[in-house]
C-alpha cells in the first residue's frame, strides 16, 4: 500500500471544512471581488498546473476541431489548417482554464484545498479531463454548426448555377426515399447535416480519451500531484476565499 493510499484512508472527513461556498446568505454577503477571487482560486492545484493543462488540452482539442473541419467542415475554413489550429486553439485556452477552475472549485468543496490522496488526485484529473472534453465538444459543435450554415449557402449557390437555365434537376413530385426531400438542395443539405453530425459524434470519444491520456501524462510529469510539493504546502498559503 502506498503512502498515498494511507493518506487517502485517513483523509479528514468533508464536514471538517467550513462551507466555503455555503448558503445563499453567505454568498450574498460576499463581494463580487471576493467571489471572483474565490472562483479564480486554483487550489487544490497550482496556477502553473492549471495553465499548462489548459494550454495542452486546448491545443489538443483544437487540433481535433480543425482536423474535423478539414474532414467535413465548410470549404471556406479548410485552408491553412496549421494557422487555424494555432488561432482557434488559443481561443480555447481560457475556456478550458475556466472549466478547470470550475472542477477545482468542486473538488475544493468536497475535499478541501489540498489533495492528500492519489485517488483524490486521479478523480480530480479525470474531472478536469471530462470538463475539458465537454468544453471541447461544445466548441466543436459550435464550429460544426457554423460549418453547416456555410455549407448550406454553398449548396444553394451551386444548385442555382445548375438551374440557371430553368431546367429542374428533379421533376416536381418525384418519389424519393428520404421522406419528402425531393430536391437536390434538400437532399444535399440532409447529407451535409448527417455528415456533420457524424463528425461531431466521432469526435466525442476521441476528445474524452485524448484528454484523459493527456491529463494523465501531465499529472505524471507533475509527479502525480496537482498542487504544490509537500514542503510548500506545509507553509501557510493565503486563501482567496472568505467564509
Q: Scan residues 10-39 and list those touching other proteins (CB under 8 A).
A: 10, 12, 16-18, 20, 37
87 belongs to the binding site for other proteins (CB under 8 A): no
196 belongs to the binding site for other proteins (CB under 8 A): yes
Which residue, 176 or 209, has its beta carbon nearer to other proteins? Answer: 176
Site for other proteins in 46-65 (CB under 8 A): 63-64
C-alpha cell at 81: 489548417
What mask, x for binding other proteins by CB under 8 A, covers residues 153 to 172? -xx-xx--xx-xx-x-xx--
SS3 of 136-193: the string is HHHHHHHHHHHHHHHHHHHHHHHHHHHCCCCCCCCCCCCCCCCCCCCCHHHHHHHHHH
193 belongs to the binding site for other proteins (CB under 8 A): yes
179 belongs to the binding site for other proteins (CB under 8 A): no
Among 75, 138, 142, 209, contact with other proteins (rule: CB under 8 A):
75
d(Cα 130, Cα 99) in Å, to the nearest integer?
A: 9
Interface stretch with other proteins, choices 45-53, 99-107, 134-142, 152-160 (CB under 8 A): 152-160
C-alpha cell at 152: 448550406
Q: Are 152 and 189 in contact (CB under 8 A)?
A: yes
**Which residue, chain included where needed, has cell 495553465?**
51
230 belongs to the binding site for other proteins (CB under 8 A): yes
**CA-CA-CA-CA torsion for 175, 198, 140, 50, nearest 10 degrees?**
160
Min CB(96)–other proteins separation in Å: 19
Among 54, 112, 125, 136, contact with other proteins (rule: CB under 8 A):
112
Min CB(136)–other proteins separation in Å: 14
Q: How many CB atoms lie within 10 A of CB 85?
A: 19
1 belongs to the binding site for other proteins (CB under 8 A): no
Site for other proteins in 115-144 (CB under 8 A): 116
d(Cα 62, Cα 136) in Å, to the nearest integer?
A: 8
Interface stretch with other proteins, choices 21-29, 46-54, 95-103, 146-154 (CB under 8 A): 146-154
Spatial CA neighbour of 124 closest among 44, 204, 199 = 44
C-alpha cell at 43: 487550489
Min CB(105)–other proteins separation in Å: 14
Among 54, 73, 136, 210, contact with other proteins (rule: CB under 8 A):
73
Distance in angstroms between the alpha carbons of the first and the last residue of the chain: 36
**Which residue, chain included where needed, has cell 445548375?**
162
Enclosing H/E stretch for 231: helix 230-233
82 belongs to the binding site for other proteins (CB under 8 A): yes
Amino acid at each position: 500500500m502506498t503512502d498515498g493510499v494511507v493518506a487517502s484512508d485517513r483523509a479528514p472527513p468533508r464536514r471538517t471544512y467550513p462551507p466555503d461556498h455555503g448558503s445563499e446568505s453567505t454568498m450574498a454577503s460576499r463581494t463580487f471581488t471576493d467571489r471572483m477571487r474565490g472562483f479564480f482560486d486554483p487550489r487544490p492545484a497550482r496556477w502553473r498546473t492549471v495553465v499548462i493543462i489548459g494550454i495542452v488540452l486546448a491545443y489538443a482539442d483544437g487540433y481535433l476541431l480543425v482536423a474535423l473541419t478539414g474532414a467535413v467542415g465548410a470549404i471556406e475554413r479548410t485552408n491553412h489548417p496549421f494557422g487555424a489550429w494555432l488561432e482557434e486553439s488559443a481561443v480555447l485556452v481560457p475556456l478550458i482554464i475556466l472549466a478547470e477552475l470550475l472542477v477545482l472549485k468542486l473538488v475544493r468543496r468536497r475535499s478541501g484545498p489540498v489533495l492528500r490522496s492519489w485517488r483524490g488526485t486521479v478523480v480530480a484529473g479525470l474531472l478536469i479531463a471530462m470538463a475539458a472534453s465537454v468544453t471541447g465538444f461544445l466548441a466543436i459543435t459550435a464550429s460544426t454548426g457554423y460549418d453547416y450554415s456555410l455549407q448550406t449557402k454553398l449548396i444553394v449557390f451551386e444548385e442555382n448555377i445548375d438551374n440557371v437555365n430553368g431546367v429542374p434537376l428533379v421533376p416536381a413530385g418525384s418519389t424519393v426515399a428520404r421522406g419528402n426531400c425531393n430536391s437536390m438542395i434538400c437532399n444535399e443539405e440532409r447529407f451535409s447535416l448527417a455528415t456533420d453530425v457524424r463528425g461531431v459524434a466521432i469526435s466525442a470519444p476521441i476528445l474524452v480519451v485524448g484528454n484523459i491520456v493527456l491529463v494523465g501524462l501531465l499529472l505524471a510529469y507533475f509527479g502525480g500531484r496537482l498542487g504544490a510539493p509537500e514542503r510548500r504546502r506545509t507553509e501557510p498559503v493565503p486563501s482567496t476565499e472568505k467564509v
